Amino acid sequence: MNRKAKIIGTGSYLPERVLTNSDLEQMVETSDDWIVSRTGMKERRLAGPQEYASTMGAAASRVAIADAELTPDQIDFIIVATSTPDYTFPSTACLIQDQIGAKSAGAVDIQAACTGYLYALSMAKAWVETGAYRNILVVAPEKLSSITNYKDRTTCILFGDGAAACIVSLQGKGLVIETIRLGADGEQAELLMVPGGGCRQPATADSVANSQHYIKMAGNEVFKHAVRRMESASKECLEAAQVNEKEIAWVIPHQANIRIIDAMAKRFEHLPPERVFKTVHKYGNTSASSVGIALDELLRAEMTKSGEKILLTAFGAGLTWGAAVLHHE
Distance CA 108, CA 1 (A): 29
Whether the Cβ atoms of residue 316 and residue 114 lie closer than 8 Å to each other: yes
Identify the burial level of 261 via C-beta atoms within 10 angstroms of its C-beta, where 0-12 means exposed, 13-18 middle and 19 or more buried. buried
Can 254 be counted among the known catalytic residues?
A: yes
What is the CB neighbour count within 10 angstroms for residue 265?
19
Site for ligand UT7, residues 123 to 162, rule: CB under 6 A:
153-154, 157
The reply to whether 91 sits near ligand UT7 by the rule CB under 6 A is no
Strands 77-81, 136-143: pairing is: parallel
Beta carbon of residue 1, minimum distance to ligand UT7 (angstroms, whole number):
38
**Among positions 82, 92, 169, 257, the unique one binding ligand UT7 when judged by CB under 6 A:** 257
When binding is defined by CB under 6 A, the residue of 59, 96, 114, 168 that contacts ligand UT7 is: 114
Considering only residues 172, 194, 223, 262, which one is a binding residue for ligand UT7 as defined by CB under 6 A?
223
Q: Which of the residues 135, 285, 327, 328 is marked catalytic? A: 285
Kindly tell me which of 220 and 306 has the beta carbon lying closer to ligand UT7. 220
Of 62-70, 142-150, 174-182, 252-260: span binding ligand UT7 (CB under 6 A): 252-260
Which DSSP category does 25 fall into? H
Least separation in angstroms between residue 24's CB and ligand UT7 is 7
Find out whether 117 and 138 touch, Cβ atoms under 8 Å.
yes
Output the smallest distance, CB 287 to ligand UT7, in A.
6
Say whether residue 226 binds ligand UT7 (CB under 6 A).
Answer: yes
Q: Reduce the DSSP state of residue 203 to 3 states and report it.
A: coil
42: left (phi over 0), alpha (psi -120 to 50) or beta: alpha
Give the nearer residue to ligand UT7 in terms of CB position, either 182 or 222.
Answer: 222
Residue nearest to ligand UT7 (CB): 219
CB-nearer residue toward ligand UT7: 56 or 70? 56
> In a 3-state reduction of DSSP, which class is residue 309?
strand
Dist CA 265 CA 276 (whole Å) = 8
Task: In whole angstroms, give the CA distance from residue 288 to residue 293.
Answer: 9
* Options 114, 156, 166, 237, the catalytic residue: 114
Please identify, among the stretches 31-39, 43-51, 170-178, 272-280, the one whose residues bind ligand UT7 according to the rule CB under 6 A.
31-39
Q: Is residue 114 annotated as part of the catalytic site, yes or no?
A: yes
Annotated catalytic, 237?
Answer: no
Site string for ligand UT7, 35-74 (x = CB under 6 A): ---xx-----------------------------------
Contact 65, 75 (CB under 8 A): yes
Choices 7-15, 59-67, 216-224, 304-312; region in contact with ligand UT7 by CB under 6 A? 216-224
List beta partners, residue 78.
107, 137
d(CA 313, CA 128): 21
Query: Residue 319, preceding bond cis, omega within 30 degrees?
Result: yes
CB–CB of 81/120 below 8 Å? yes
- The answer to whether 20 contacts ligand UT7 (rule: CB under 6 A) is no
> Residue 200: CB partners within 8 Å, gap ≥ 6?
none
Task: Given the residues 94, 225, 254, 257, select the one marked as catalytic.
Answer: 254
Q: Which of residues 158 and 241 has its CB atom nearest to ligand UT7 in the complex?
A: 158
Point out the residues that are catalytic. 114, 254, 285
Binding site for ligand UT7 (CB under 6 A): 30, 34, 38-39, 114, 153-154, 157, 219-220, 222-223, 226, 256-257, 260, 285, 287, 316
